Amino acid sequence: MADHTDSLTVHGEHGTTIFTLSGPTLVVHRASDSEFHSPPVRVSPHGGPTEKWPRIETTVRHVLWAEVKENLFEIALVARRKNSHPLSLVLVAGTVKSDQLEIATAFTTSLMDVAYAGIRRQRRLRVLVNPKSGPGNGIGLYHRKVEPIFRAAHCHVELTLTTHHGHAYELMKTLDLGQYDAIVVVSGDGLVHEIINGFAEHARPEEAFRLPITPVAGGSGNALALNILGPKEGCDICAAALNAVKGRPMRIDLCSVTQGEKKTLSFISQCVGMLADVDLGTEHLRFLGSNRFVLGYVYGGDIFS
């Protein structure tokens, strides 16, 4: 059976925009490339200048929000210009004619229903950003790319900038679990390590471990982000933000390491010897990003400390 197709036409200052929803695919089409200068269409970086993008084809999973206010139709989505490009935030708005309001409302309802099928809308996100992680650009990444997507998806966000080693661990030990749908981590793997060990010390650890952790690649290695999202999207900041908005929980294995009387939880891997020396011995070179690991290996781990 062929997929049912819905369409909606909205009007901007310089032309029309046609939205076509067919199964899992949404197509946004401008009447002509020359008409794409109109203010109702903006392409990220959020708040940047309007760009030409006459035809956008994406999946409904990439739709963040759509609504009709009086006679104004607005939609927020993420899309790629080319398959090799990272995701970009796109905001589109246009006027709906009075005799088309009922159609626009029905189209918006259908679109939001399929876009969030089985997924809670307006998630409550506890966001932790490590300003010192990796090359030290976590705050900039969050405000430029992550926050606009959360805002477009109407998420409820509580933000903390970590200030010291162990800060996330301290927060997670006493976290009010009923207040959040996910923990978003704009950092490398170190902050995730603190979170899972904080969960282990929580008064209700089993419940704490059911709260999803969503990594946004802001560190040197970003192993968890790469393992969850894959090599193509693991370092795509917008893809990671989309995962926080619409991702589905999955389980990963943890391991427990005991040294003397200290018990520590770990994920993905636990290293000793040369690999551990390279990681620990290049802490002072975090500004180099992942290149610090190469230098650490070449110089035998502990270099220039």
Active site residue 277: no
Bond into 45 cis (ω within 30): yes
The catalytic position among 113, 181, 189, 277 is 189
Give the pairing of strands 182-187 and 213-217: parallel
Residues assigned a catalytic role: 189
